[in-house]
Chain A
């Protein structure tokens, strides 16, 4: 399978715990994006990488959120001290050269109890 993959697919955690999600983009894609989607809403942009550089962060990304793409390949999104409001689907997408189609992974569904 050469598509975008995300792990885990589901995560249930207690409030206050830290969680980390992983995204593996399509191998030749140099751009990687994270989005958050809540029920009944469209995805909201969180952050964007070109290779290993994080070029844009949304104001939605509070200090408890951090994203990395250390070698310009896979990316991780960490949420520290989770809150119930963090419950959402976290989507990753990748693209080539940025002006092309974004290809989405299946998402990680987070539930914070």
Chain B
């Protein structure tokens, strides 16, 4: 059974700082690893998806890496902005031939102006 852990649970940083969010998973036989953003009371917005054959993905100020052997993924946010304040969730996708995605509980990020 896949278990996904995210550390830290909450993070507060001043605007402009670079930061790293961590995600670990127990089953290395994942098809992909996806990072989402969730604003309070809202649905999830996909940020980056890394296929199991890939090592990293980049989108703007975001960079996500995947190390299947160690069961870890990181989300790097460069030059953080107050608008980045949200909960960031990682999700390990699809083992066993179907698309059951297992989520962590998220890291709640606050970027202080």
Contact = CB atoms under 8 A, between A and B. Distances in A.
B99 A104 contact: no
B104 A42 contact: yes
Contact of B99 (A41, A95, A109): A95
18 contacts: A6-B43, A31-B99, A35-B103, A42-B91, A42-B104, A42-B106, A48-B100, A58-B100, A91-B43, A91-B44, A98-B94, A98-B98, A99-B31, A99-B94, A99-B99, A100-B49, A105-B43, A106-B42
Contact of A106 (B43, B49, B98): B43
A25 interface: no
Interface residues of A, number: 29
Interface in B1-33: 4, 31-32
Given A6-B43, A55-B98, A104-B46, 11 more contacts: A4-B43, A33-B99, A41-B105, A42-B4, A42-B104, A42-B106, A43-B44, A98-B94, A99-B94, A106-B42, A109-B41
A102 interface: yes
A23 to B, nearest CB: 11
A98 B43 contact: no
A42 B44 CA distance: 10
Interface of B: 4, 31-32, 34, 36, 41-46, 49, 51, 89, 91, 93-94, 98-106
Contacts of B89: 42-43
Nearest to B44: A104
Contacts of A109: 41
Contact of B49 (A4, A93, A101): A101
A52 to B, nearest CB: 16
B46 A103 contact: yes
Contact of B42 (A42, A103, A107): A107
Interface in A58-110: 58, 91, 93, 95, 98-107, 109
B103 A44 contact: yes
A6 B100 CA distance: 20
A103 B99 CA distance: 13
